[in-house]
């Protein structure tokens, strides 16, 4: 799960967009329920499509949805699973945190979980730097796997690097910098995007030298100091996640402090209806939302959201208004931060910090 994938799914605007979101189990015997649960949700989606579009018009989409589901090994899932199907899209996303089960058929996909994953800093990279080799690991939370594409792992070819690693002569330091500069350029060329996060792993001297040559110091959010050449990818991922999680905790704390400052300058919109209005106007710099806040809603006008949908036909109802609001904020250049449940009691579970 990454920002590029989120963007590609958010860009689909057509009807119908089918989103199937389901919690899954990793361990026996519970994981045997995964296939049954997926089958039931596929039937629910198929029945709804048949009613809304008719049997003939829905047949192609139902086949596409079932073919996508058939490609999933339900015995090798994480904590959640998402299927996104439309005439132009068919995508499976494995989600490593617990999600709420639902089937959504709308004019766009339900991307709340993807937004949460990307904007809570849970996607990041690790560069494991030594004098002989640079390994690149792609991580989601505490799960890591080594990348073996685009030149990685990179091996140094300087004979001087075979010398005592504590012997940092001026010439040797120059060669190490050349190697790290090469690593940096290849990483930036192939793996960086907006808001990318990087953890550096290695001995203190190597970390310092890499920071001297990188053109993107701002993407480095932390480091693991020590020699990790012989350490497993799994163990490095576990240690790096502790660093990333602490960084994310501090960012959420900082966002809440920013929210309190915005209150004093009257630059806050509290509640989803007010947040929707100012987001539609492009005024939201940061949207802060409690993790489990969900609500349906409908549009009275393009910038006016109403929560009482009891008298409205189903086609007028937005199944996941919070998710659509988050998408709107991101599309207009803002950011979205999810915080613990109960944190925003005075703001009706969601608050927008305004640019003006």
224-233 average pLDDT score: 94
Give the per-residue pLDDT at 159: 64
Tokens found for residue 82? 């998402």
Q: pLDDT at residue 142 above 90?
A: no
Give the per-residue pLDDT at 325: 95
Give the per-residue pLDDT at 160: 52
54-69 average pLDDT score: 96
Which pairs count as long-range contacts for 315-321, CB under 8 Å and 24+ apart, including other chains? 318/106, 319/102, 319/104, 319/106, 319/110, 320/102, 320/104, 320/106, 320/110, 320/112, 320/294, 320/296, 321/272, 321/276, 321/295, 321/296, 321/297
pLDDT digits (tens, 9 = 90+) for 75-99: 888 889 999 999 999 999 988 788 8
Q: pLDDT at residue 62 above 80?
A: yes
pLDDT digits (tens, 9 = 90+) for 277-305: 999 999 999 999 998 898 999 998 888 99
pLDDT digits (tens, 9 = 90+) for 242-283: 999 898 889 899 999 999 999 999 999 999 999 999 999 999
Question: Residue 133 in contact with residue 123, Cβ under 8 Å?
Answer: no
pLDDT digits (tens, 9 = 90+) for 318-347: 888 998 999 899 889 998 999 989 999 899
Q: pLDDT at residue 165 above 60?
A: no
DSSP label at residue 43:
H
Core vs surface per residue 273-303: b (16+ CB within 10 A) or e: bbbbbbbbeebbbbbbbbeebebebbbeeee
pLDDT band for 173, please (50, 70, 90 cuts). confident
Q: How far apart are CA 173 and CA 206, in angstroms?
A: 10
Q: How far apart are CA 154 and CA 130, in angstroms?
A: 10
Average pLDDT, the chain: 90
pLDDT band for 164, please (50, 70, 90 cuts). low
Core vs surface per residue 2-21: b (16+ CB within 10 A) or e: bbebbbebbebeeebbbbbb
């Amino acid at each position: 799960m990454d920002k590029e994938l989120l963007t590609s799914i958010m860009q689909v605007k057509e009807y119908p967009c089918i989103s199937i979101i389901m919690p899954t189990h990793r361990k026996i015997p519970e994981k045997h329920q995964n296939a049954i649960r997926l089958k039931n949700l596929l039937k629910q989606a198929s029945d709804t499509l048949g009613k809304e579009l008719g049997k003939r018009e829905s047949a192609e989409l139902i086949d596409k949805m079932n073919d996508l589901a058939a490609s999933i090994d339900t015995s090798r899932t994480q904590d959640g699973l998402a299927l996104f199907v439309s005439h132009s899209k068919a995508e499976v996303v494995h989600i490593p945190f617990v999600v709420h089960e639902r089937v959504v058929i709308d004019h766009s996909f339900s991307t709340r979980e993807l937004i949460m994953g990307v904007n809570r800093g849970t996607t990041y990279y690790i560069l494991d730097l030594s004098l002989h080799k640079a390994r690149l690991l792609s991580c989601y939370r505490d799960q890591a796997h080594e990348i073996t594409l685009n030149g990685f792992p990179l091996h140094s070819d300087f004979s001087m690097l075979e010398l005592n690693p504590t012997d940092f002569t001026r010439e040797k330091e120059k060669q190490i910098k050349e190697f790290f500069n090469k690593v940096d350029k290849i990483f930036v060329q192939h793996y960086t995007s907006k808001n990318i996060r990087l953890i550096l792993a290695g001995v203190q001297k190597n970390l310092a030298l890499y920071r001297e040559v990188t053109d993107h110091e701002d993407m480095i959010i932390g480091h693991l100091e020590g020699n990790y050449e012989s350490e497993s990818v799994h163990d490095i991922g576990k240690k790096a996640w502790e660093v990333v999680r602490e960084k994310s905790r501090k960012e959420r704390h900082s966002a809440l402090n920013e929210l309190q400052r915005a209150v004093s300058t009257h630059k806050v919109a509290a509640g989803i209806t007010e947040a929707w209005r100012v987001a539609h106007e492009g005024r939201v710099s940061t949207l802060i939302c409690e993790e489990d806040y969900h609500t349906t809603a409908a549009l009275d006008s393009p910038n006016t959201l109403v929560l009482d949908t009891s008298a409205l036909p189903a086609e007028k109802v937005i199944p996941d208004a919070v998710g659509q609001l988050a998408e709107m904020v991101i599309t207009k250049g803002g950011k979205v931060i999810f915080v613990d449940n109960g944190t925003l009691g005075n703001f009706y579970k969601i608050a927008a910090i305004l640019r003006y």
